[in-house]
């Protein structure tokens, strides 16, 4: 996992920074996406607002210009009354639209209404142009602004239709002036040129608007893809079993995922303002040593107030040694499990050879010894020697069987079980099938305790622990008794299922505790010394820990600490 994650640190840094504060980051990107999706609409709204202001200011400016100097302008030269009425009506029309829709959004939603208002604009400009003497007044050029605005606010061919309406209005105005006003120079060529200019403006603005719209669509899609990618990255980082944290050069924790926070929670000192704290002192020394020699592999670290042992690895986010540091926190039980799998694979090949090369001649030796023992010719001393041969052949065969059990890999999937119900069935079955069993008391402190285990392997572990405990209790007190306690151990918001097997035996000497789980370590003449070793291996295969200790009364206690099933992520 560590090697895979460090292959592309820049990308991983981006993912971790996005996922370190999911609520804040997601809210920020949702806001950005909302702004991007409204980018095109907001631009149109701005154009509509500006154009509506223009719609109000233009007739007022023209009206004031005419009133202040009617003799110096051509405005209203043909029909001053019509010019004043057109300017006044156009201004009132703009004010009404402004009050009905302050931001113009209502009209953007209905293109028919928007088209009607723009036609009204062209009609008002045509009236003012006619009242001022036609195209020569220059007022008809204002239609270019209307056509340009319509091409922005309305997508499609509607703006081309408006350009056609404007061109027809100009030509009709010139034609009507030629017929109704004496000596009026018909400026049809100029009207045609202006019509061409209106169509060119419409087509050009349509092209630019379409490009802008497509760019906005592309931005929306990219924003949506970024958010989807961020959510996926967040799920990946937050659900990783490997804890990941980013550290600043001054050993301040910049960000971390859920696995890192859960692992380091017992030693983290939260800040009052809710910000991430300083790196715990327990981890500062390995970090400082690693900075001195980056090839140095930090040793496993035991987390206080928990049964966790973690392996820490570091990597610089940038080639610069003054950059932030990426810290990987792996549960050592998973590493041990992988090592165990490789070890068992090698042991399996070895034991297969042992079974083939040793058991067959051993069986022949044992069989020959039994035949010699049953014959009449051997003396009593020879029979005693034959008994020793048979006894040790059986012992060697037991060792081979235990080694085969230790190397056997169970491919069964772990299942989630209720510890209380499962223990009741197991204890009842054990008592019914074992003679050396006077009393086994079961005490479950939390009836809802659940664990994830391979039940066949848990049965093998408990069979071995029960056999040993009952045997030593019988030797010490004359009665084969056991006391079983199961429940949930809670420490500082952390919880872990456990199972204690307590016997009434004399206990294990302190100098022998260090080698208790070593293979072939036994104090029994008939034992192989593989029982506790196999039990410990099977516990580690289930991401559990088998430990030895003493109760407050001094009794021997073998404890199994299981992984919390709610904290396991596949």
Are 44 and 188 members of one domain? Answer: yes
- Asked if residue 28 belongs to a domain, the reply is no
pLDDT at 410: 57
Do residues 156 and 115 make contact, with C-beta atoms less than 8 angstroms apart? no
Calpha distance 468→534 (Å, rounded): 14
- Whichever domain contains 558, its CATH number is 3.30.565.10
Are 451 and 517 members of one domain? Answer: yes
Residue 548: exposed, middle, or buried by beta-carbon count in 10 A (0-12, 13-18, 19+)?
middle
pLDDT at 36: 44
Of the ranges 85-89, 183-187, 504-508, the best mean pLDDT one: 85-89
pLDDT digits (tens, 9 = 90+) for 89-110: 988 988 888 877 654 455 556 7
Nearest to 532 by CA among 353, 435, 405: 405
Are 206 and 66 members of one domain? Answer: yes
Tokens representing 208 are: 């630019």
Which of the pair, 539 or 321, is modelled with greater confidence? 539
Calpha distance 392→518 (Å, rounded): 22
- Asked if residue 21 belongs to a domain, the reply is no
pLDDT digits (tens, 9 = 90+) for 308-332: 778 888 888 887 777 888 888 887 7
Mean pLDDT check: name the lowest of 60-64, 213-217, 349-353, 536-540: 349-353
pLDDT digits (tens, 9 = 90+) for 477-533: 889 999 999 988 765 445 688 999 999 888 888 777 777 888 776 766 566 677 888
- Asked if residue 223 belongs to a domain, the reply is no
Calpha distance 185→63 (Å, rounded): 25
Inter-CA distances, 334 with 242, 315, 540, Å: 10, 21, 8
Do residues 457 and 541 make contact, with C-beta atoms less than 8 angstroms apart? yes
- pLDDT beyond 70 at 179: yes
- pLDDT beyond 80 at 47: no
- Whichever domain contains 312, its CATH number is 3.30.450.20
- Domain span at residue 350 reads 335-407
Q: What is the mean pLDDT of residues 156-164?
A: 85
Are 164 and 247 members of one domain? Answer: no
pLDDT digits (tens, 9 = 90+) for 100-139: 765 445 555 677 888 888 889 899 998 888 888 888 788 8
Of 294, 314, 331, the one marking the end of a domain is 331
pLDDT at 528: 65
Q: What is the mean pLDDT of residues 68-88?
A: 82
Position of tokens 């081309």? Answer: 160
Q: pLDDT band for position 335 (50/70/90)?
A: low
- Asked if residue 226 belongs to a domain, the reply is no
Percent share of the chain, pLDDT over 90: 6
pLDDT at 235: 74
Q: What is the rounded average pLDDT for all residues in the chain? A: 78
Total number of domains constituting the chain? 4
Calpha distance 524→514 (Å, rounded): 17
| H-helix segments, 355-454 | 360-374, 380-407, 419-433
Calpha distance 506→473 (Å, rounded): 8
Are 55 and 119 members of one domain? Answer: yes
Pairing of strands 481-491, 494-503: antiparallel
- Whichever domain contains 367, its CATH number is 1.10.287
Q: pLDDT band for position 450 (50/70/90)?
A: confident
> What does pTM read for this prediction?
0.44
What is the Rg, in whole angstroms, of the alpha carbon atoms belonging to the chain? 45
Q: pLDDT band for position 558 (50/70/90)?
A: very high
Are 429 and 556 members of one domain? Answer: yes
Nearest to 172 by CA among 159, 185, 196, 188: 188
Are 326 and 400 members of one domain? Answer: no
Percent share of the chain, pLDDT over 70: 78
Q: What is the mean pLDDT of residues 424-447?
A: 88
Residue 533's CB: how many other CB atoms inside 10 A?
Answer: 21
- Asked if residue 79 belongs to a domain, the reply is yes
Q: pLDDT band for position 344 (50/70/90)?
A: low
Of 368, 386, 407, the one marking the end of a domain is 407
């Amino acid at each position: 996992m560590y090697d895979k994650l460090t292959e592309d640190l820049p990308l991983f840094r981006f993912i971790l920074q996005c996922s370190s504060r999911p609520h804040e980051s997601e809210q920020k990107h949702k806001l950005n996406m909302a702004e991007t999706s409204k980018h095109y609409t907001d631009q149109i709204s701005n154009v509509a607002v500006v154009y509506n202001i223009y719609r109000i200011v233009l007739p007022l400016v023209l009206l004031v210009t005419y009133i202040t100097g009617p003799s110096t302008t051509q405005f209203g030269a043909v029909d001053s009354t019509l010019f004043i009425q057109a300017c006044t009506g156009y201004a009132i029309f703009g004010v009404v639209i402004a009050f009905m829709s302050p931001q113009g959004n209502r009209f953007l939603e209905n293109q028919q209404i928007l088209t009607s208002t723009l036609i009204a604009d062209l009609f008002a400009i045509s009236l003012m142009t006619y009242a001022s003497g036609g195209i020569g007044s220059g007022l008809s050029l204002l239609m270019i602004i209307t056509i340009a605005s319509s091409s922005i606010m309305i997508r499609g061919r509607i703006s081309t239709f408006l350009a056609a309406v404007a061109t027809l209005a100009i030509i009709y105005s010139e034609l009507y002036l030629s017929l109704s006003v004496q000596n009026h120079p018909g400026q049809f060529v100029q009207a045609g040129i202006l019509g061409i200019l209106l169509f060119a403006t419409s087509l050009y603005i349509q092209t630019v608007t379409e490009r802008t719209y497509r760019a906005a669509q592309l931005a929306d899609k990219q924003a949506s893809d970024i958010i989807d990618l961020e959510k996926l990255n967040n799920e990946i980082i937050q659900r990783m079993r490997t804890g990941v944290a980013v550290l600043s050069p001054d050993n301040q924790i910049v960000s971390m995922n859920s696995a890192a926070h859960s692992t380091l929670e017992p030693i983290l000192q939260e800040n009052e303002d809710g910000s991430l704290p300083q790196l715990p002192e327990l981890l500062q020394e390995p970090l400082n040593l690693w900075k001195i020699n980056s090839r140095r592999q930090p040793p496993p670290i035991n987390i206080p107030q928990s049964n966790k042992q973690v392996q820490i690895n570091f990597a610089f986010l940038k080639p610069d040694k003054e950059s932030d540091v990426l810290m990987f926190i792996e549960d050592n039980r998973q590493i041990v499990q992988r090592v165990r799998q490789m070890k068992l694979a090698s042991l399996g090949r070895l034991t297969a050879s042992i079974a083939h090369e040793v058991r067959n001649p051993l069986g022949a030796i044992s069989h020959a010894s039994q035949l010699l023992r049953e014959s009449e010719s051997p003396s009593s001393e020879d029979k005693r020697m034959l008994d020793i041969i048979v006894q040790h052949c059986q012992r060697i065969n037991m060792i081979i069987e235990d080694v085969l059990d230790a190397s056997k890999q169970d491919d069964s999937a772990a299942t989630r079980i209720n510890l209380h119900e499962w223990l009741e069935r197991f204890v009842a079955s054990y008592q019914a099938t074992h003679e050396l069993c006077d009393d086994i008391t079961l005490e479950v402190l939390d009836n809802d305790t659940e664990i994830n285990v391979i039940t066949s392997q848990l049965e093998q572990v408990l069979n071995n622990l029960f056999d040993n405990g009952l045997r030593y209790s019988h030797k010490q007190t004359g009665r084969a008794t056991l006391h079983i306690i199961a429940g949930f151990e809670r420490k500082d918001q952390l919880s872990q299922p456990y199972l204690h097997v307590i016997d009434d035996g004399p206990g294990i000497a302190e100098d022998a505790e260090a080698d208790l789980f070593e293979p072939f370590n036994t104090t029994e003449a008939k034992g192989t010394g593989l029982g506790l070793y196999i039990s410990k291996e099977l516990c580690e295969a289930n991401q559990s820990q088998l430990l030895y200790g003493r109760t407050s009364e001094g009794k021997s206690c073998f404890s199994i600490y299981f992984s919390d099933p709610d904290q396991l992520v596949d």
